[in-house]
Amino acid sequence: MAHEDDPLEHERASWNPSPGLAVAVSDPVEPPALPPHRERVTDKDPVAMKHAVRTVYTLFYLSVAASIWAIAAYMLFPIESGAIVDIRNNNMFVGLGIGLALLAIGIAAIHWSKAIMSDKEHIEPRHATRGRDTTRAAAVQAFSDANDDSGFGRRVVIRNSMIAAVVASLAPAVVLFRGLAPENTPANPIAGDPVALLEETMWTAGMRLVHDPEGTPIRAADVTLGSAVHVIPESLAELGHAEGYLEQKAKAIVLVMRLLPEDLIESPEKADWSYEGIVAYSKVCTHVGCPVALYEQQTHHLLCPCHQSQFDVTDAAKVIFGPAARPLPQLPITIDDEGYLIARSGFTEPVGPSFWERH
């Protein structure tokens, strides 16, 4: 590469960048020249060179062999039996073949470049990134000519009206995105109202508490002391996946636990929300909505596995640790004539994570 200075560098003469706060050293340390080239073993020793050449082509042929092996492994290790061991073997042996084939190419190429190709260092001059003065002047002239020809800077009314039109033309695109979510329909007057949807669950007065996911009802007597039962509303168990099962379930999941009645600290207005020490709380974390699925039997704490919020079941599920801010909403329960647990009413507040319109 060229060592001489750029003959056109003087065209950037007007550019004299400020060094800012850089310390000006009148007598800076002089950089030494490039050190003399040191020959590698392969440069000096023909045997070593021959060895390197042999290594490189051996690796390339090894790669061919590994590729052939990968194809063979594809056929030798079928997965049609469905057995997990067959899938593991197929994955491993095909993968090892492909991986080795690729690695051998890579190592060979790099060995080629490091041991065989010339390792003499070259010097290439750098030029300032900015264009030459004449080029810059020509660019400015181009804009200026275009401006004169179009009157872009002079005819302000045209320019501003154009900007207004282009900006306004984006608005319909924004409006179109309203269609991302459903709107209210006569059949479902709140289908397009996220706040109304968030405030409503499938729980209503008299709804039976049933096992998740089997849908079998729960007799109060079957909820033993210290146990935790994962519960959904009876009507949810009958819902199909295509009928909004997951959406309803995401709001309606409940945990039922039985404690000694004397362990429960209950406020007077919620005194009848539990039944003989059986309490039901929303299983959706009030932080960001993970299921609060871990129940510590000894301490009566509920733990969210996602962000480790902990709720004290003995004390109205209030937050005792972690990032959650609100207690889990409680589902008032009682039993029906047959002794099955039922909801006394729906949830009295929205379940799950906080949202702006919640109050």
Partner 1 sequence: MSTATAPAETPDAEKRDAPLGGRFIGATANYIDERTSLSGFVKELGRKIFPDHWSFMLGEIALWSFVVVLLSGTFLTFFFQASMVPTHYTGAFLPMRGVEMSAALDSSLRISFDLRGGLLVRQIHHWAALVFVAGIGVHMLRIFFTGAFRKPRELNWVIGFILFILAMAEGFTGYSLPDDLLSGNGLRIIDGMIKGIPLVGTWISFLLFGGEFPGTAIVGRLYTLHILLLPAILVGLLVLHLMLMVINKHTQFAGPGRTNSNVVGYPMMPVYMSKMGGFLFITFGVIVLIASLFTINPIWNYGPYDPSPVSAGTQPDWYIGFADGALRLVPPGWEIVFLDRTWSFNILVPLVGLGLFIVLVAIYPFIEAWITGDKREHHIAERPRNAATRTAIGAAGVTFYAVLWAAASSDIIATHFYLTMEGVIHTLQALLVVGPVVAYFVTKRICIALQKKDREIVLHGYESGRIVRLPGGEYIEVHQPVDEYERWKLVDNDGYEPLVVRPNAHGRIPWHENLRASLSRWLFEDRLAPLTQAEIDAAVAHQHHELEHIAAEEDVELQGAHARAGVPGAPHTPIDDGHHSETAVRPSNVIVSDDGARQPVNPDEKNS
Report the site for partner 1 in 192-251 (rule: CB under 8 A): 194-195, 197-198, 212-213, 230, 232, 240-242, 244, 246-247, 249-251
Among 46, 47, 121, 337, binds partner 1 (CB under 8 A): 121
Q: How far is CA 333 from the centre of its chain?
A: 38
Each as own residue / partner, the long-range contacts of residues 234-241 (CB below 8 Å, 24 or more positions apart, any chain) are 234/207, 234/208, 234/209, 234/210, 235/202, 235/207, 236/202, 237/210, 237/213
What strands lie across the sheet with 278-282, from one edge to the other?
A: 209-211, 228-233, 254-258, 278-282
Q: In terms of CB distance, is 282 or 314 closer to partner 1?
A: 282
Q: Could you give the 3-state DSSP secondary structure of residue 154?
A: coil
Among 4, 14, 21, 187, binds partner 1 (CB under 8 A): 21
The β-bridge partners of 302 are 295, 311
3-state SS, one letter per residue, for 169-192: HHHHHHHHHHHHCCCCCCCCCCCC
User: Is residue 38 within the footprint of partner 1 (CB under 8 A)?
Assistant: no
Q: Could you give the 3-state DSSP secondary structure of residue 217?
A: strand
For residue 206, the minimal CB distance to partner 1 (Å) is: 23
| Peptide bond connecting 213 to the previous residue in cis, omega within 30 degrees of 0 | yes
User: Is residue 287 within the footprint of partner 1 (CB under 8 A)?
Assistant: yes
Among 95, 131, 206, 339, binds partner 1 (CB under 8 A): 95
Q: In terms of CB distance, is 48 or 198 closer to partner 1?
A: 198
CA 67/CA 223 separation, integer angstroms? 61
Binding region for partner 1 (CB under 8 A) out of 38-46, 92-100, 202-210, 263-271: 92-100
Residue with tokens 């004169």: 148
Q: In terms of CB distance, is 106 or 226 closer to partner 1?
A: 106
User: Is residue 131 within the footprint of partner 1 (CB under 8 A)?
Assistant: no
Binding region for partner 1 (CB under 8 A) out of 13-21, 44-52, 141-149, 260-268: 13-21
Q: In terms of CB distance, is 149 or 177 closer to partner 1?
A: 177
Among 4, 13, 14, 33, binds partner 1 (CB under 8 A): 33
**Type of residue at 307:** H
User: Is residue 189 within the footprint of partner 1 (CB under 8 A)?
Assistant: no
User: Is residue 177 within the footprint of partner 1 (CB under 8 A)?
Assistant: yes
Residue with tokens 């329960």: 333
Among 102, 270, 277, 312, binds partner 1 (CB under 8 A): 102
User: Is residue 268 within the footprint of partner 1 (CB under 8 A)?
Assistant: no
Does residue 209 contact residue 343 with C-beta atoms inside 8 Å?
A: yes
Q: Could you give the 3-state DSSP secondary structure of residue 87?
A: helix
Q: In terms of CB distance, is 324 or 335 closer to partner 1?
A: 324
For residue 102, the minimal CB distance to partner 1 (Å) is: 3
Contacts with partner 1 by CB under 8 A: the residue count is 118
For residue 26, the minimal CB distance to partner 1 (Å) is: 7
User: Is residue 42 within the footprint of partner 1 (CB under 8 A)?
Assistant: no
User: Is residue 49 within the footprint of partner 1 (CB under 8 A)?
Assistant: no
**Type of residue at 282:** S
**Type of residue at 312:** D
Report the site for partner 1 in 317-356 (rule: CB under 8 A): 319-326, 352-356
Phi then psi for residue 281, to 5 deg, are -125, 150
Among 25, 170, 171, 187, binds partner 1 (CB under 8 A): 25
User: Is residue 282 within the footprint of partner 1 (CB under 8 A)?
Assistant: no
Q: Which pair of structure tokens corresponds to residue 73?
A: 């492994």
With b meaning 16 or more CB within 10 Å and e meaning fewer, what string describes 213-230? eeeebbebeebeeeebbe
For residue 117, the minimal CB distance to partner 1 (Å) is: 5
